[in-house]
């Protein structure tokens, strides 16, 4: 933040740099400002070189500059100040310079203009320029802090998503190694009992137990796939086809997938974002939409990976979509940001379905050359 934002608000004291080649006019400006009762320190320079030196020295809160100066103009001084990367209130204090010059100065960003024949206006103009600059500084500081906060949120989201995926992979591995292995061992033992038992009641219980174990194995495999989509190792389209097929079998909702054919392999994190977005969207549809038909469209045209998930369910109005507690959508949006993408959600209104669109730019994106983690899901 420039010093002005602190000095005006806390100390109510400011430093003025006055660029003026007439000593009499400079002393008149000093008199006018002192009579206003303001607390200021005024520095006088009359050449462009001295003006630059004073600016580089820092500690300046506002600039007053004549327009007609020896060998240069006040707007040249303005350009010099801006070229030094300094954003200070800059007021032209000059004789009549014409409306066209004043308009050009305002367009270029000069704060204000005061005619030397109306210097009684100067204290008011100075205070107004300082106040406007203070507000501008505070807004910029707020914007900078918001940008930092958003960056930290994006980094935290990426870290959390990576941690969640690692945890899911660990859980899936434990299910496969421990629970899956135990269930397979139980099934083998039950099969042995079934072959060696002659009692019909015992065989009936063994058959029932085998059916339950088979069901448990299927459930564990489904949970493992949801936790860690190893099917992505076969490509995003194959993973989407499996997701659609299993969703249809589980819910009975007619679900179709359209895609443009063969799609080149993308980085694992991009494919995972697309897969998780579709998975979450389908889960929400099954829970809340009351839909009878769902459509997924996947393409990589025009340098973007695009996934659209739409349904014919109850939909939602704009107020419902914008609710602060719509954490599911917020999570999907943050997940999309981790790969430079964005998420749009639209509904024609209550009872008219919902459409969710994920877009991820693919410019400069190359497939992940690292080997994907694989594992037996049988």
Calpha distance 302→134 (Å, rounded): 45
Residue labelled with tokens 């917020």 = 330
The pTM for the full model equals: 0.52
Half-sphere exposure (Cβ direction) of 49: Cα atoms closer than 13 Å? 1
- Residue 320 pLDDT: 58
- Give the burial class of 213: count Cβ atoms within 10 A of its Cβ; 0-12 exposed, 13-18 middle, 19 or more buried: buried
- Residue 371 pLDDT: 43
Alpha-helical runs (H) found in the chain: 3-6, 23-35, 48-57, 74-83, 99-108, 122-174, 181-196, 200-227, 236-251, 268-284, 318-321, 327-337
Please name each of the domains of the chain with its CATH number.
3-144 (3.40.50.2300), 230-378 (3.30.565.10)
Tell me the CA distances in angstroms from 209 to 15, 123, 188, 213, 214, one per residue in order. Answer: 88, 93, 11, 6, 9
CB 309 within 8 A of CB 281: yes
- Residue 366 pLDDT: 53
Q: What is the mean pLDDT of each run of 10 residues along the chain (378 residues)?
A: 42 82 94 85 94 93 94 94 94 90 92 92 92 90 87 75 73 74 83 82 84 84 71 82 89 89 80 88 85 89 88 73 58 83 79 85 62 41
Calpha distance 351→315 (Å, rounded): 5
């Amino acid at each position: 933040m420039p010093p002005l934002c602190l000095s005006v608000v806390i100390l109510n004291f400011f430093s003025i740099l006055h660029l003026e080649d007439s000593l009499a006019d400079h002393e008149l400006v000093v008199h006018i400002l002192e009579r206003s009762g303001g607390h200021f320190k005024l520095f006088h320079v009359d050449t462009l070189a001295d003006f630059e030196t004073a600016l580089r020295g820092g500690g300046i809160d506002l600039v007053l500059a004549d327009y007609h100066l020896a060998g240069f103009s006040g707007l040249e001084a303005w350009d010099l100040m801006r070229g030094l990367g300094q954003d200070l209130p800059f007021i032209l204090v000059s004789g009549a310079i014409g409306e066209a010059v004043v308009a050009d100065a305002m367009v270029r960003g000069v704060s204000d203009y005061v005619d030397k024949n109306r210097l009684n206006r100067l204290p008011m103009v100075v205070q107004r320029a300082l106040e406007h600059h203070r507000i501008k500084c505070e807004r910029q500081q707020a914007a900078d802090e918001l940008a930092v906060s958003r960056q930290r949120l994006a980094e935290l989201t990426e870290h959390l998503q990576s941690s969640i995926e690692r945890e899911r992979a660990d859980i899936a591995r434990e299910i496969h190694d421990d629970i899956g292995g135990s269930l397979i061992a139980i099934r083998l033992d039950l099969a042995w009992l079934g072959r060696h038992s002659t009692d019909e009641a015992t065989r009936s219980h063994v058959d029932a137990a085998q059916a339950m174990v088979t069901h448990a194995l299927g459930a564990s495999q489904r949970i493992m796939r949801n936790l860690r989509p190893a099917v992505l190792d076969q490509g995003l389209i194959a993973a989407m086809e499996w997701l659609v097929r299993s969703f249809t079998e589980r819910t009975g909702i007619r679900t179709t997938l359209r895609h443009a054919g063969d799609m080149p392999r993308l980085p694992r994190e991009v494919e995972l974002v697309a897969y998780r977005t579709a998975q979450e969207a389908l889960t929400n549809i099954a829970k809340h939409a009351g839909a009878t038909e769902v459509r997924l469209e996947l393409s990589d045209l025009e340098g973007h990976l695009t996934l659209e998930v739409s349904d014919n369910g109850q939909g939602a109005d704009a107020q419902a979509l914008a609710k602060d507690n719509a954490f599911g959508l917020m999570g999907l949006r943050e997940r999309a940001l981790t790969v430079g993408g964005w998420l749009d959600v639209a509904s024609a209104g209550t009872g008219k379905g919902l459409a969710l669109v994920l877009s991820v730019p693919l410019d400069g994106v190359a497939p992940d050359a690292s080997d994907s983690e694989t594992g037996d899901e049988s």
